[in-house]
Amino acid sequence: MAWNEPGSGNKQRDPWRDNGGGSGGGPSPDFDAIVQRVRDLLNRLSGGGNGGLFVALIGLVIAWCAWDSVVRVNASDTGVVLRFGQFSRLMTPGINLKFPRPIETVVPVGIGKTQQTNDQVRMLTKDENIVQVDFNVQYKIADAQLYLFGLRDPDGTLGQAAESAVRTVIGSSDMDTILSGQRTELMVQAKQLLQATLDQYKAGLVISEMNFQNVRPPQEVKDAFDAANSALQDNSRLQEEAKAYASQVVPEARGDAAGTRAEAEGFKAERIARAEGDAQRFNLVEQQYRAAPDVTRKRLYLETMEQVVANTPKVIDLSSGKNILNLPGASDARVPVATVITPDSGKGVR
């Protein structure tokens, strides 16, 4: 309603004007005229129709633009701002401003969220055994821009690259290595190979963990694998028994060899010493022979005959028929006595 009511004469009732008799001011503004001018302007802009609907639409548009210009990014996300579909900038977590749609849109990307993928492969090992591997890959988004625009399907690419890495590592190893404690080294190799592939593809992903959850032969060949595994265990057991036997026998053989070698060295030293003694004695006998040949010859003869017939209980007659004087035997009857009759004296010599 208008501020001025009819029927009050020329007196103006203006709430913005001090009517209490204070100091006077200027004439009050005519708000009805101002509103009418704005309404006429809107009518002209809207083609002369009802301007209230247009004003309401303008207000809704302004409210929507103000509401759509404020974006809240979660703490675990990074906002990727697209201006008319093209990358513009990144938004940090918190309250951010942007141009309303369709000028700018924001795509949230979970940077701090750990994601995972599981798969299973069946393949041949290096020694031509069939093995089935269940593996798990845990990864995070390291670069939001590369994650959205580097590849068409980064998650699917990661799954295929992970399978390729597992096949490369398992295919270059034999069954014993895969089933033994070296499986951890194989997982590390597969993780490094997968990360290198993703970096080459510029996928914007980083691998946090890669595990071989289960490595086993397929059910179709399980019986044959169990038999082969049992044979390998028997082979290992026999090898260990052989090593234990060798560790017991080899030292004994080495001890016997050392004893035999020591005996041989002693025999060698004895023979050398005896030979040297015989040589020295021969030299001494030779010297005596040169000094007195007859006496030395007879002494050598008697000594030789004494050695020859020392254990023979017989009488050897070398007297050419002369009288024989047989001396009584030794006090010990068990010791045989040999009597030699020399041709010179005709006497027996015990």
Q: Are 313 and 336 a contacting pair, CB within 8 Å? A: yes
Q: Which residues, at least 6 apart from 343, have a Cβ–Cβ distance to it below 8 Å? A: 318, 319, 320
pLDDT of residue 125: 86
The pLDDT score that the predictor gives to residue 313 is 67
- Look up tokens 């809207």; give the residue: 46
Higher pLDDT, 306 or 164: 164
Q: Report which DSSP code applies to 204.
A: -
Q: Would you say residue 349 has pLDDT above 50?
A: no
Highest mean pLDDT among 93-102, 266-275, 297-306 belongs to: 266-275
pLDDT attached to residue 327: 57
Mean pLDDT of the chain: 77
- For position 19, what pLDDT does the model report? 45
- The string of pLDDT tens digits covering residues 220-250 is 767 777 787 788 788 988 999 998 988 888 8
CA atoms within 13 A on the CB side of 328: 4
Which residues, listed in sequence order, are joined to residue 206 by a DSSP beta bridge? 140
**pLDDT tens for each residue of 287-305:** 888 888 888 888 888 888 8
Strand partners, 339: 315
Task: State the pLDDT confidence band at 333, using cuts at 50, 70 and 90.
Answer: very low
Mapping DSSP to helix (H, G, I), strand (E, B) and coil, where does residue 286 land? helix
Going by pLDDT thresholds of 50, 70 and 90, the confidence category of residue 140 is: very high
Q: Which two tokens stand for residue 303?
A: 């000594």
Residue 92, pLDDT above cutoff 80 = yes
What does the pLDDT read at residue 348? Answer: 43
- Higher-pLDDT residue of 34, 173: 173
Axis-axis angle for helices 154-171, 183-201 (nearest 10): 140
**Cα distances (angstroms) measured from residue 263 to each of 22, 260, 266, 270, 343:** 145, 5, 5, 10, 47
**Other Cβ atoms within 10 Å of 197 Cβ, number:** 19
The pLDDT tens digits of the residues spanning 31-77 come to: 677 767 766 765 665 555 555 677 677 877 787 888 878 888 887 78
- For range 315-332, the mean pLDDT: 59
Cis peptide leading into residue 108 (ω within 30°): no
Instruction: Please give the full DSSP string across 146-174, using - where no structure is assigned.
Output: HHHHT-S-HHHHHHHHHHHHHHHHHHTS-
Q: What percent of the chain has pLDDT over 70?
A: 73
One-letter amino acid at 44 equals R
pLDDT over 70 at 148, yes or no: yes
Greater confidence, 91 or 15?
91
Separation CA 284–CA 83 (nearest Å): 125
Q: CA 120, 122, 124, 125: dihedral to nearest 10 degrees? A: 30
